[in-house]
Chain A
Amino acid sequence: MIRLHDYVLSASCYKVRLMAALLGVRLDLEAVDFHPGRAHKSLAFRQLNPAGTLPVMVVDDLVLTESTAMLVYLARLAGPEWLGPGTPQASAQVQQWLAFSGRLAASLGLARLHDMLLYTGDIEALRRDGHLALRELESALTECRFAGHDWLVGTAPTIADIACFPNVALSQDGGVTLDPYPAIRLWSRRVRSLDRFVEMPGIHRLHELRPAPAEA
């Protein structure tokens, strides 16, 4: 049994829920009262994760407190192709994007918590850092397209895409628009069209394409 200490509005928790859904892995979700209760900062919760952050994954004796590590665990368990092609270059690139997803959380993610749940922070600086990260992502995805690929690493979706997707797709919640980033918007549609995709509040599923209007 894989237990996930979870919060429905957390982008980091959603990373893990999305990966599990795409892989068809069942998670046993334990809701934590992150807001307004701040239960993740309680003494009891800190026994589990001294950092006082969500998500936390528990599988028997294994306790994971980094969402990116949870993606690796799930992929290794149920879909190793999600780890990427496995060449030295590709493996390193996947790691690079997993770490990059932390920068997204520290900029776009915090801007969202500021705007939505009244967290304190320098909102202008957070949004600026968010845009800087998005520009990097936009340019990488554009390069991918020039090389004929749709995904961050190799020719198929990997944990790198899933790690970066949530905070990017939720950027509007923190007042950062994706309007200037066409490659990112196309990539986001691609992620949302994956088989077994699940949404979270703020990320809408793609509505079925309706038939084109009949010719007059």
Chain B
Amino acid sequence: MITPQVLNEWYPVAMASQIRAGQRRETQLLGIPVTVKMSDGAVAVHGESDSFPVMERFGHVWTCLGSPAHDLFAVPEADQPGRRLVDVGVVRVKCSPLRAVENFLDIAHFPFVHTDILGAEPHTEVNRYEVQIREGSDEVWATKVTFYQPQAAKSAEGGIVTQYMYRVPAPTVSVLYKTCPVMPDAWDVIGIFVQPLTEELCDVWPWMALFDDVTPEAELIAFQQMIFLQDRSILENQIPRLLPLDPGMEIPTQADLSSIAYRRWLKKRGLTYGAQMVAA
């Protein structure tokens, strides 16, 4: 359902480098046709008659179809020297944009969907972790998450217990921080920026800010695409198609804390595009 709150949020609509290279992208946002292209030397986003505000950040073009309720979220790590910023490219998924975000927050599926990479049996237990809504920024955060991973990143040379933090800084965005295999005191940053085309169709733009000056770019991209494409077939088969925000037939477990917090946060803020409002 489109609410004023939904309209007043920022959403990703393109990869900035592709538009700057002269590509024109005819796409959709919240069911409304929009075009992203260069116009008078600047990136512009317009609909059939209106033009919309544009923000270029984290390698992508962001827009808002209403009046932006706030600035786009910050990722201070994006400006940290020594990090490699990698645009992974668009993947279309026939699922609710909210389900794409929720799946990104879930670690319990790692051993079963990302077998021998992000998880492996018998290491299936999700240890207790903490979830909070941060005051001020009004973001969902999950911290103190740990999980055993056979190959945590392209740069990992064996199994490690990875530490994670997850945040939801915007309704269709999630950013995670995970142990960087080559710099154990630093976090690698990986995001998914989800463009809601309709309530059941989205374009997903994964993005990374990593410490790794060895791995060729094509391999970093391939690694992340491999992971995300393992999720895609799962996401396209989830039922109900829309994300239920009210407790219904789904029985959450302790591992689902972040998902529960995300659903409550969406509901309280009226961010219901891609959500199912009646109990399933």
Contacts and interface: CB of A to CB of B under 8 A. Distances in A.
Contact of B226 (A8, A39, A116, A205): A8
B23 to A, nearest CB: 10
Interface residues on A, range: 20 to 34
A114 B193 CA distance: 20
Contacts of A205: 115
Interface in A146-182: 172-173, 175
Interface stretch (A28-36, A72-80, A95-103, A184-192): A28-36
A interface majority secondary structure: loop
B142 interface: no
Interface in B206-244: 216-219, 221-223, 225-230, 232-233, 236
B91 interface: yes
Nearest to B224: A8
B15 interface: yes
Contacts of A172: 233, 236
Nearest to B230: A201
B232 A201 contact: yes
A2 interface: no
Contacts of B230: 201-202
Interface stretch (B32-40, B82-90, B131-139, B184-192): B82-90
A211 interface: no
A35 B91 CA distance: 10
A173 B87 CA distance: 23
B92 A115 contact: yes
Contacts of A39: 218
A9 B223 CA distance: 10
B207 to A, nearest CB: 11
B241 to A, nearest CB: 15
Nearest to A173: B233
A118 B229 CA distance: 14
B221 A33 contact: yes
Contacts of B228: 201
B136 to A, nearest CB: 35
Contact of B233 (A32, A36, A118, A202): A202
Given A172-B233, A173-B232, A201-B232, A36 B89 contact: yes
Contacts of B233: 172-173, 201-202, 204
A35 B216 contact: no
A8 B90 contact: no
A78 to B, nearest CB: 24
A201 B216 contact: no
A41 B15 CA distance: 19
Nearest to A172: B233
A7 interface: yes
24 contacts: A32-B218, A33-B217, A33-B222, A35-B89, A36-B88, A36-B89, A36-B221, A37-B218, A39-B218, A116-B91, A116-B229, A117-B91, A118-B203, A172-B233, A172-B236, A173-B232, A175-B94, A201-B225, A201-B227, A201-B232, A202-B229, A202-B232, A202-B233, A205-B115
Interface of A: 7-9, 31-33, 35-37, 39, 115-118, 172-173, 175, 200-202, 204-205
Given A118-B92, A201-B230, A205-B115, 20 more contacts: A8-B222, A8-B225, A9-B226, A9-B229, A31-B219, A33-B217, A33-B222, A35-B225, A36-B15, A36-B18, A36-B87, A39-B218, A116-B92, A116-B229, A117-B92, A201-B226, A201-B228, A201-B232, A202-B229, A204-B233
